[in-house]
Amino acid sequence: MNSTKKLLLTVYHQQSVVFRNLHIAKLNKEFKILHMSEIPTKYLLRGNLKKCSSTPKAFYSTFEKLLKSKNSSKRDSKKNKMEPILELCLSKNDSSRQNNYVSNNNIPSNHYVMSKKKYNEIRQWKTIEKGTSFNADTDFALRLLSYNILAQNLLETHSYLYKNHNYRALDWKHRKFLIQQEILNANANVICIQEMQVEHCQEFLVPLRKQGFDYLYKKRTNDTKDGLLMLYRPSQLKLEDYSLAEFHQTNSDILNRDNVGIVAKFSLRESPDTHIVISTTHLLYNPKRNDVRLAQTQLLFAEIERVAFIENTVNGPKYHPILLCGDFNLVPQSGVYKFITDGSFKYAGKGRSLDDISHHKLTNQLIPSHLRVTDNCEHFDLLKKRISHDNNDRYSRPVNDIDRNTSSYQNIELTKGKFAKFSSGTLSHPHKLTSVYKHKNDNGEFEATTHQDEWITVDYIFYSQVEVLDRYTLPTVSECEKLSFIPNFIVGSDHVCLGATFKLKKKNFDKKIQYLTS
């Protein structure tokens, strides 16, 4: 430890809980006293005790981290006032500490915090107005959830984001309980979870396995510790095919992040000819890099195209119905959202955030051509294979290969009238995807799924070729504000859970009836 710096550490005990508040006095030439309360120092300190060679060093690292996080606070830094250490240590009549929330002018008191009852009233499964009919003989009801559960290691890495929270609500054991309660209550057929920490996964699965769930898991690449978990009921859904997609690619500046996706194809046990493709992802966080999220979406869509493809017809390729959900880390006004829901988006000439005002302009090439993914989000080699299959290998003419050394536009003819485009400046995809949520309620108030500086929507459920029967109502921004800081004792994550029930038409139902009655 530096000789000019000395630390005085006091630990406040409440009930049997140590490290409730860590008061830090920094004894320099200039005497400075710092107090940090309501920060999950327990986790920081625990981590540092493991990492550091001695206890004083661990305390020192914790202290430094707290100072750093204080300075770079994402949530309103004005709210984090320093308090004199003595006042806090000696104050005997500090009733605020007994509350779940500290009641000073900066942090909401219990009065403003929503109750569980009120939360449940908002979060109801509401049928869609149109009122689609449902017939259990011909239709299957599939309920899907999408939930970013906030990996504990990310909570600890970005602890400054949770400085205003009740530290007890940040405990993984407590959060796990609320999250499991939320997902088990919904009685879903498929549950897509983002930020499932590897080391917490098996324990998390225990009650879900008991309920009969099976799962697919894909960790984010490299030194990350969390990933995607897709739970499904094998008694209802048979896993036919799946892809665990990594967006990190060698020799690519735009695809150099560790995000991943799962794409799974299921058939219905009660109607084996009926298929559904379900995909989940968690895209890059960096708020400025919509270009990276667009490139990641292009790779994911190529995998979806591969798994969902049925056959080529005179009207173009046919696909199984698709459900795509997750944390896309983008708002409904963004270019990537437009791309997903409109089916095409021109990125060339746009900035990295995909808006018009930027000096860092994107060129015609988004991802390198050596990845062999077309601008219509298809695998080039698959397109070639399908054409040769459709032509029984006989009439196929040789197809030019991709020039991997150029970043210029390439338009390669596959068969008469069908082309594969690369570096055209516009991205498209063949799936007609609609969002389950409209992002505003009937009164025009915006809904939100998480808090990043403000309450915003970054999580979505998109669907194609199915109908929505009901959805799990999202809170509006003003309702979120009453919910106060999440995670808390009502919501177990920094996101809320999304959900919808879809009507899947059973295939060959008529055939079966004919067969049974003949």
In the complex, the residues that contact ligand KL2 under the rule CB under 6 A are: 74, 148, 154, 158, 161, 285, 327, 329, 450, 452, 494-495
500: helix, strand or coil: strand
Residue-wise DSSP of 211-279 = TT-EEEEEEPSTT--EEEEEEE-TTTEEEEEEEEEE---TT-SSS-S--EEEEEEEEETTEEEEEEEEE
Instruction: Compute the half-sphere exposure of residue 247: CA atoms within 13 Å on the CB side of its CA.
Output: 27
In the complex, the smallest distance separating the C-beta of residue 361 from ligand KL2, rounded to whole angstroms, is 25
Judged by beta carbon, residue 158 or residue 346, the one nearer ligand KL2 is 158
- Nearest residue (beta carbon) to ligand KL2: 285
In the complex, the smallest distance separating the C-beta of residue 427 from ligand KL2, rounded to whole angstroms, is 22
Judged by beta carbon, residue 260 or residue 436, the one nearer ligand KL2 is 260
Cα separation, 11 vs 310, whole angstroms:
64
In the complex, the smallest distance separating the C-beta of residue 324 from ligand KL2, rounded to whole angstroms, is 16
Cα separation, 306 vs 376, whole angstroms:
12
Cα separation, 380 vs 384, whole angstroms:
6
In the complex, the smallest distance separating the C-beta of residue 289 from ligand KL2, rounded to whole angstroms, is 12
Judged by beta carbon, residue 107 or residue 196, the one nearer ligand KL2 is 196
User: What is the maximum alpha-carbon separation in the chain?
Assistant: 96
In the complex, the smallest distance separating the C-beta of residue 432 from ligand KL2, rounded to whole angstroms, is 26
* CA distances from residue 147 to 131, 151, 244, 472, 480 in whole angstroms, order as listed: 26, 12, 18, 12, 16
Tokens of 492: 């177990």
β-strand partners of 476: 447
Judged by beta carbon, residue 423 or residue 450, the one nearer ligand KL2 is 450
In the complex, the smallest distance separating the C-beta of residue 495 from ligand KL2, rounded to whole angstroms, is 6
231-247 burial, b at 16+ Cβ within 10 Å, e below that, comes to bbbeeebeeeebbbbbb
Judged by beta carbon, residue 329 or residue 476, the one nearer ligand KL2 is 329
Judged by beta carbon, residue 376 or residue 450, the one nearer ligand KL2 is 450
Judged by beta carbon, residue 195 or residue 479, the one nearer ligand KL2 is 195
End-to-end CA distance of the chain: 87
In the complex, the smallest distance separating the C-beta of residue 328 from ligand KL2, rounded to whole angstroms, is 8
